[in-house]
Structure 1
């Protein structure tokens, strides 16, 4: 019973500190929350929480603020995420469904996520190798120039143009297109390359140079590690939260400029569609030791994602609302890309 009550006290401290940015005292807890116990009991509970490293006193005669450990316990106790309001859901749906292409939908998503959470939003472009192939098109541009178009189920489009030595034969191009699509549609891009190896031998010798060139370019493109593109929005939100970074906000901004750092952190948070939270020192990057990241995967099916999105902000964050927003935006984005 005492443990449950102390969790309630910790939850109240986190919620008040997030809302007010002021250290929370026992008197404020009594006035703002119906904890059902005396002020003396609350003070005793706060002493136990402090001894456990869940809260600390920033300076003498002040109230208490949560530690990274306290935030972690608070986040772990969030059993269900509150749904967004009807207005918020309609706004997400309306904004994302108005996108005209993948670049547009990614830009809209990152701006929307930043607006909903008031944090820095990060959206990774859909991974090519984790996507499934929707269609491959071969388009003759001239007598000796061919455009190869790769379209995935995540909405990603890759284009490559090649020059050939002999004039293109429309019949051969059509047959090659059909054979490639027949063995590739619906398969994960990462698994397609090996299935193309025998394609060249199925054509007459005089057409094999063309086929080999197409297969080579196609295989090289499919082997690309296309997970190094991210888009950010809301960096100005950090400036408004500069008081939440006791040392300086500079290192955080520098870390944001290093896309490799952000991608590594997103990868470490898992590839399924659950919402992950990395708090303070858990980030394993000194510049982000006073920041938290909330992220999840999007796209794909069966709980797997083709890329990730999330937000970064100070550890003094409204975790419940932020987690709800991240999950909702990811789900809408997945529906649009796979619909």
Structure 2
């Protein structure tokens, strides 16, 4: 019973400190929260919490503030993540459903997260290597010029213009389109690339998989065009720049923390310029949709020891393609932030599922 009561005192201290930005005293706790005990008992509980390292006194005669250890216990003992209201859910759905492509989805997500949490939002672009090929389209721009369009499961679209050696008719183009789609659609990038290389290579011998379509299935024009088309697709598939791309929003929210005693504004502003740093801050997201919280010194960078990160993964059909989350000072509304991060990730996943 004493443990549960002290947890209730700690929870009240965290909530008050997050909302007021001021150290919390025992008198304020008794007045604002129905703890069901006397002020003397609250003071005794605060003394125990301080001795155990869950709260600290910033200076003499001040109230108490949570430590990283206190925030961690608070987060770990949350029985449920604060649910989003119906109005908030409708607002998220309306805002994200209007997205027209992957860049728009990412851009809208980062703006929405920063608005919901009043923190800095970070959204990683889907990692190319975890994507599957959804469709390959070939469009004739001229008799010997083709537009090659690669569409991935993430919603990412890559386009390349290629020159072919011989003019291609509609039937030739349809044959080549069918060949590359049979080889690549539904495959992970690495497997699709291998299948396409085989398609452009010599006819399969007896020891090779006869299920892989080879140039012998094609007309002369189709066979001649397969190499430059495959080369263009392989180039699009090997473009790993997106694996380190992130979108950042809400940097202006840091202005609220400039004068805070635990301010991490300057090092965090510097970190926003380094995408590799932000990716490491977000960490590896699991495939179970769990929201992870790293508080203060739990993170990978000493200079960001006053920073917390709330993150989760997203992706279609339970495939985690990337991570999104929120970065901010340790004094943040963890229940609300966790709810917002989880909700936005679920909506982005749904959009990618339906794309």
Q: TM-score range by the shorter chain?
A: over 0.9
TM-score (norm 2): 0.89
1:181 aligned partner: 181
Q: Distance in 2 between matches of 1:199 and 1:10?
A: 64
Q: Distance in 2 between matches of 1:60 and 1:245?
A: 15
User: Contact 1:129/1:224 (CA < 8 Å) preserved in 2?
Assistant: no
Q: Distance in 2 between matches of 1:148 and 1:271?
A: 33
Q: Distance in 1 between matches of 2:180 and 2:273?
A: 40
**Stretches of structure 1 lacking an aligned partner (at least 5 in a row):** none
User: Contact 2:316/2:350 (CA < 8 Å) preserved in 1?
Assistant: no
Q: Distance in 1 between matches of 2:348 and 2:96?
A: 7
1:314 aligned partner: 329
User: Contact 1:96/1:105 (CA < 8 Å) preserved in 2?
Assistant: yes
- Residue 274 of structure 2 corresponds to residue 262 of structure 1: no
User: Contact 1:53/1:69 (CA < 8 Å) preserved in 2?
Assistant: yes
Give the Å deviation of 1:327: 0.6
1:238 aligned partner: 254
- Residue 219 of structure 2 corresponds to residue 203 of structure 1: no
User: Contact 2:18/2:332 (CA < 8 Å) preserved in 1?
Assistant: yes
Give the Å deviation of 1:243: 2.6
Q: Distance in 2 between matches of 1:116 and 1:156?
A: 26
- Residue 310 of structure 2 corresponds to residue 298 of structure 1: no
Alignment of 1:127-276 (within 5 A): 127-200=127-200, 201=203, 202-204=214-216, 206=220, 207-225=222-240, 226-244=242-260, 246=262, 249-270=265-286, 272-276=288-292
Structure 1 pair 17/328, CA: closer, same or farther in 2 (3 Å)?
Answer: same
User: Contact 1:130/1:188 (CA < 8 Å) preserved in 2?
Assistant: yes
* 3-state SS of 1:220 partner: helix
**Stretches of structure 2 lacking an aligned partner (at least 5 in a row):** 204-213
Give the Å deviation of 1:170: 3.7
Q: Distance in 2 between matches of 1:213 and 1:317?
A: 53
Give the Å deviation of 1:42: 1.7
Give the Å deviation of 1:18: 0.4
Alignment of 1:80-159 (within 5 A): 80-159=80-159
* 3-state SS of 2:198 partner: coil
Structure 1 pair 10/248, CA: closer, same or farther in 2 (3 Å)?
Answer: closer
Query: Which moved further from structure 2: 97-106 or 63-72?
Result: 97-106
User: Contact 1:244/1:314 (CA < 8 Å) preserved in 2?
Assistant: no
